[in-house]
A and B are shown apart, each in its own frame.
Chain A
Amino acid sequence: MQFANGSAIDLSQVPSVPVAALAGAARAAREQQQMLASLQMLDGRLLLLLADAATGRLSARSFELAGARTWPSITPAWPAAQLFEREIFERTGARPEGHPWLKSVRRHGPGLHPFLRAEGEGVHEVAVGPIHAGIIEPGHFRFQCEGELVLHLEIQLGWQTRGAEQMLLHPHPGRRLRAAESIAGDTSVGHALAYCTAIEALSGTKVPLRAQALRGVLLELERIANHVGDLGMLCNDVGYLPGSAYFGRMRGDFLNVMAEISGNRLGRGLLVPGGVRFDVSEEMLARIHGVLAKADRDLNDTARVVFSTPSVLSRFEGTGTVTRAQAEELGVCGVAARACGLRADTRSDHPVGIFQFAHVPVAVAEDGDVMARSTVRWLEVLRSMQFVGEQLEQLPPGPLRVAQGALRGSSLAVAMIEGWRGAIVHVARTGADGSVVEHKVVDPSFRNWKALELAVRGAQISDFPLCNKSFNLSYAGHDL
C-alpha cells in the first residue's frame, strides 16, 4: 500500500503476509535504496514501513508472526534494521533469529548488555559514563583501545528512558502534546510538528497556510539555533575559544527569536493540532527582521574567521570519517548522511506542510568527516536563514488555527519531519473508536548512534569528544 507522508490509511489497506516474505521485501527495498522509515510491531504484527525518495511515496506492509514469534533477522542483509529488530525483541520478546548482536537497547540489568571485548597485549578497556564530565545527557561508552588507538566503541544507552511514547497515549490531549514537545528538548518543534502532523492526518484536519508557514519558520529557527550552537561547541572542543564564545552567544539570539514568536526559547507552546496558537504582528516582524539581519552579519563574520583558521581546519579535516557506503548500509540520516554525500532530506524527498510550497536546497558535503559535518551545518544555517527571511516577508494571510476533527478509527498515520539532526518519524495507529492506541517515535539519533561508533574506529581516543560533538545526537530522543 502506497501513500504520502503526512497522510492516513485504513489498517485494512495494509497488506498482511506471512513473515517468510520479509527477507525478500527487505532485500528489494535495500536494492532500490529505499529508506527504512520504521520496522516495528503494530497491532500484533511486524510492520515494515519504507520511504522511497525517488517517488516521494511511503509504503507499508505487515507480516504475520507465527506461533513461535520469530523471524529470520534481516539485519545481516540490511544493517539499517539492526536497532529496530533489537527494540522489537526487547519490547515484545519476538525474536529475530540470526541477529548478529541481539542485546538490550534501553532495559538495564545483569547480563542484558554484554560488550564486545578486544584482547591481546597492550589492549585495554576505557569505560565512560553514564554521567559525563559536563552538562550532557547520560550514556555509557565502552572503548576497546590499543594505547591511544580506538579499536572499537560500543555505546549503551537507555539511561534517559522515561516513557515518552506511553505519555503520547495519555488521556489528556494537552499532556500528549507536552510529552511530544519533550521527546528531545532541543528538537521540541520538530517532534511537536511530527506529532501534530500525525494527528492532523488521522483527523483529516487541513492546517491553514499561515500556520504552516509559521511552523516552518520555527522549525528552521530551531535548526539554525542548534547548528550554530554546535559549531560553537566544535570550536570549543578544538580549543578555539573565539569561535566557541561567538557562536555560543549567537545560538541564544535565535532561541530568543523563537521565544519572541512562541514565548519559550525552545519554541514550546506554539504548535497545536490544527495550527498554531500565536500570530506575529507587523511590529514583531520588524523586530525579528532587525535581529536576523544583525545575526546574519555576525554569523558570516565569525564563520569566515573560524573556517580560515588553520588550527581549526587541521583538527576538523580527516577526523571521524564515516564512509558513504557505511552511511548507506546503516541507514544514517540527516546531517551525518548528507556529510557523506547522500542527498537525503525529508523536506525535499517527502515534503509536508510549508515545504510542499517552499523548497530549501539540500546541503551536501562529500568527505564524511568532522569538517564535512561542520560544512553541512554551516550551509544549512545559510539556507535556513534565507528560508526564514522569505517566509516572514510573505506570510500568507488567514486564520492561524482550525478545530481538529474527530480521529478516524482503525487507521495508520505516518509523519516524517526533517528535524535539525535528521528525519523524525512518528507512526500512530487508532483503534476502532478513533483513539490513538499505538504511537511509535523514531528520533534521528536512533539511526545515527551506530555511525558515531564507526567514526571513532581507528582514531585516537582523544578525538572522541570532537567526533561526538560533530554528530551531537540525542540521548533522550533515542531512549524515549
Chain B
Amino acid sequence: MIRLLKTRLLQGRRTVDFPGPQKLPERFRGLPVLQPASCANGCRACADACPTQAIGVEPLKLDLGKCVFCTECMDACPQGAIDFTRGRYQQSFRKREDLVLDRSEARLAGALDKRMRSLFGRSLKLRHVAAGDCSGCAVELNALSNVVFDLGRFGVQFVASPRHADGIVVSGPVSANMRDPLLMAYEATPAPKLVIAVGACAISGGPFAGSPEVTGIPAQVPVDLYVAGCPPHPLTLLDGLLRMLGRL
C-alpha cells in the first residue's frame, strides 16, 4: 500500500487543461491554411502529389474530409501556398461542404440547437462503431478516456450498448460487411440521436476510397459532426465534441 501511494505521488497530475493553450509537437500537422493567390498558372503539383485526390486547383481547394495529413502537397508546392499549421488542432465541422477549405477562414463546427444542447449539453453517452477502420481512430478514441484527456470530466462517456447511447461515433470507410451492423446500431440508439464521423475514412473513404469493399456511411445515418484527421488527435476529438455541445 505504501509503495502504491509512492507510485501515485510519482505519477502526479497528468490531466491537460482544456480548453486552454496546448503543447503540441513541433511537427504536429494541424488545420491547413491555403493561399490561392500565390498559385502559379496551370500548376497542379499539390493536386498530383495528393494520395487521396483531396485537392482541386484554379482555384485552390482542399477537402479536409479526404485529407490524410501526409503533407505531400505542402512539400510539392513550389510557392508555399499550403501550410499545415502547427498549433491548430481544431478540425471539426458540422456540414460536409464546410470541410472543403479555400482561401477563407475555416467554418469550424458550431453548436447544436437549443433543444439538443439542453438534452446532451451536460451529459452525452456515445457508442463507438468501428466499420472497417484500421484501428488508428480507435487508438485515439480510447486515449480520450485516459487520465490525460479525461473525457469523463465533460460529462461525455463511451458506453457498451447503443441502447444506452445518445449517439454513435463511426470510424472507418464502412466495409460492406459492417454496413448492416452499423445500421442496426444506429436504429437501436434511441432518438433524438447524434452521429459523429471520425477520421478521413468515415468521412470520405480516406485511403480506401474507391475500394469495391467499402460503401461509406449510409444515407439513413445523417452525420452531425465531422472530425477530420488520420487519425484525429485526441485534442481534435475533444475540441469537436465540446464545440458541438456549445461548451467552447
Chain A residues in contact with chain B, CB under 8 A? 106, 108, 130-131, 133-138, 158-164, 166-167, 170, 172, 174-175, 177-179, 181-186, 188, 242, 245-246, 248-249, 251-252, 255-256, 259-266, 268-269, 277-278, 284, 297-298, 301-302, 304-305, 308, 474-476, 479
Contact = CB atoms under 8 A, between A and B. Distances in A.
Interface stretch (B22-30, B36-44, B240-248): B22-30
Contacts of A474: 135
Interface string B190-214: 0000000000010000111011111
A245 B146 contact: yes
A127 B131 CA distance: 19
Interface string B41-55: 000000001111000
B13 to A, nearest CB: 11
A251 B142 CA distance: 11
Contacts of B233: 265
A480 B185 CA distance: 23
Given A135-B142, A249-B147, A259 B28 contact: yes
B219 interface: no
B167 interface: no
Interface stretch (B63-71, B92-100, B114-122): B63-71
Interface string B134-161: 1111111111001110000000001011
B51 A305 contact: no
A194 to B, nearest CB: 15
Contacts of A137: 130, 133, 135, 138
Nearest to A175: B51
A252 B10 contact: no
A134 B158 CA distance: 7
Contacts of A277: 75
Contacts of B133: 137, 160, 185, 476
Contacts of A135: 128, 130, 138, 141-142, 158
A242 to B, nearest CB: 6
A263 B141 contact: no
A220 B79 CA distance: 37
A162 B139 contact: no
A311 to B, nearest CB: 12
Contacts of A305: 3-4, 7
B157 to A, nearest CB: 11
Given A134-B160, A182-B201, A476-B134, 6 more contacts: A164-B208, A178-B206, A185-B136, A186-B136, A249-B148, A255-B143
Interface of B: 3-4, 6-8, 10-11, 14, 25-29, 49-52, 68-72, 75, 128-143, 146-148, 158, 160-162, 172-173, 175-178, 181, 185, 201, 206-208, 210-214, 230-231, 233
Nearest to A252: B148
A166 to B, nearest CB: 6
A156 to B, nearest CB: 10
Contacts of B68: 178, 268
Given A161-B132, A177-B51, A260 B27 contact: yes
Contacts of B130: 135-138, 160, 475
A158 B177 contact: yes
A308 B1 CA distance: 11
B53 to A, nearest CB: 8
A249 B14 contact: yes
Nearest to B162: A131
Contacts of B162: 131
A162 B205 CA distance: 10
Nearest to B178: A159
Given A108-B177, A159-B177, A185-B133, A256 B207 contact: no
A279 to B, nearest CB: 11
Given A175-B207, A185-B137, A263 B214 contact: no
28 contacts: A159-B132, A159-B178, A161-B176, A161-B177, A162-B173, A162-B211, A162-B214, A163-B211, A166-B211, A174-B49, A174-B50, A178-B68, A178-B70, A181-B207, A182-B134, A182-B136, A185-B136, A242-B8, A245-B11, A251-B146, A262-B27, A263-B25, A264-B69, A265-B231, A268-B70, A268-B230, A476-B132, A476-B133
Q: Which 8 A-B pairs have CB atoms at the shortest separation, nearest pair first?
A: A185-B136, A174-B51, A163-B211, A133-B160, A263-B27, A185-B134, A163-B213, A162-B132
Contacts of A182: 134, 136, 201, 206-208, 230
B71 A159 contact: no
B51 A246 contact: no
Contacts of A304: 3
A260 B26 contact: yes
Give the most central of A186, A262, A264, A268: most B CB within 10 Å. A264
Nearest to A139: B130
Contacts of A256: 25
